[in-house]
Structures are given as C-alpha cells and as structure tokens.
Amino acid sequence: MISFFHTVLYTPIYNLLIFLTDILPGGDIGLAVVIATIVVKVLILPLSLAAARTQHAMKGMEVELKTLKEKFKNKQEEQAKAMMALYKRHGVNPFAGILTLFIQLPIILTLFWVFNSKTLLTVDTSILYSFIPFPEAISPYFLGIFLVTGASVTLAIIAAGTQLLHAWYSIPIPPKSDTPSMSADMGRAMAVQMRYVLPIVMGIFAYTSVALALYFITTNVAAIAQEFYIRREKKTLPAVAVA
C-alpha cells in the first residue's frame, strides 16, 4: 500500500515540485511549493466543490432533519426512509461528501509529506522522471527572505491567521439548544475546536518549516476562495420546493 501511494502520488507531486523549481527564476523552491500546491488544488477542484456543495446542502437541511428525527424517534426504519426521501427531494447524496473527502485526503497528505521532507533542497534522482530536467540551482530562500527548511514566526502566524479566517467564514458554531442532547453538544464542541484550536495547532506545525507554512497558507487561501464561490453559487440557485 505504501509503495502504491509512493508511486501514484508522492513521485508525481515530487517531480512537479522539481520541474517548477527548474523553470522558476533563481530556482525558488519556496515559490515552487506554493505553485505546486495550487496546481494540485486545481486538479482536485471538482472533488472539493462536490464535497463543499454537499456540506452546504446538508447544513440547509438541518431543521428538516431534526424534525424528522423527532417525528420518528422510536421508529428507526421509518426515520431512515423519510431521511432518504428528504435527501432525494433536495438532490443530495449524503455519502458523496464522505467519498470525495476520502479521495482528497491521500493527495493532501502526500503534499504535506513531500513538503515536510528533510531533503527538500536536494534532488532524489532515483524517483526523478527522465523528462524532468535536473535544476541548475535550487534557492533555499522563498522570495530571497525565508529559508524554506527553517522556521518563521511571521509565516506561522499568517498560517494560523488564514486558518482562523477560514474557520470563522465556513464553520458556524451552533447556538446552545434549549433541549441539550449528546449529539448536539458534541457537534458544538467540534465546531468550537475547529474554529479556535485548529488554527493554533496549524500555527505550531507551520513553525516547524517554512515550506509547510507556505503549504498551509496557500491551502487556507484556496479554501476561503472556494467557500466564497460556493456561497455566491448558492445565492444564484433557485430554492428547492419542500413538500
């Protein structure tokens, strides 16, 4: 399995990074990290959009789902049928978001793996494709300022800040319910952690390497842009009639 992912994901992304380093002025590998992240994000954009659309559709159905769960509280089979009918009426596949997430996750982790390499400034010729030229020079500095294998407080703060901005924009915190339940409390706790704790964790990881900080910043900005696009798209779509 590890060999499969190394061949199918790691090696192509690594070769993309080396190719970009070769064609960029000064061999700026930090800039290559940013562009490689953007290229991969564009390639998996259809999957990302599908998952985001499903997530937004599910959020819009929360009230109706809650009503159904209360109505068929002790009738699990009827509840399942009613929920599937609701999904169908709204044109939502509840499993689509999970499927696209599982497809995206290995790609995203591979990006992290490539950029977290301790040998980022060297070229592993054993996995370099024959048509990828060996870079004449590799600059260890991003824009001539930040050492890509070093640490930067500035970029770590920007990484944490962009994650916080994305969380505030895309992860609402549900209000406390008058009738508390375990699932509602867990959902609210998860939302709070995603909004406030995750940016701190990301900032800590980003501080370990400028290359990772650049990856996180680029990913966060792309996620904010995608959320903005989905919201604008949602506004232009006609409302779904509820029977």
Q: Give me the residue label for tokens 């867990």.
A: 186
Least confident of 4-8, 80-84, 114-118, 172-176: 172-176
Query: CA 40 to CA 47: how far, in whole Å?
Result: 12
> Taking the model in full, what pTM does it have?
0.77
Choose between 166 and 102: higher pLDDT.
Answer: 166
Q: Where are the domains of the chain?
A: 2-236
Sort residue 57 into left (φ over 0), alpha (ψ -120 to 50) or beta.
alpha
The one-character DSSP state at 241 is: P
Q: What angle do CA 7, 206, 191 make, to 5 degrees?
A: 95
Q: Quick: pLDDT tens for 102-116.
A: 777 788 788 888 887
- Going by C-alpha positions, the residue among 180, 178, 135 that lies closest to residue 27 is 135
Confidence at residue 161, expressed as pLDDT on a 0 to 100 scale: 95
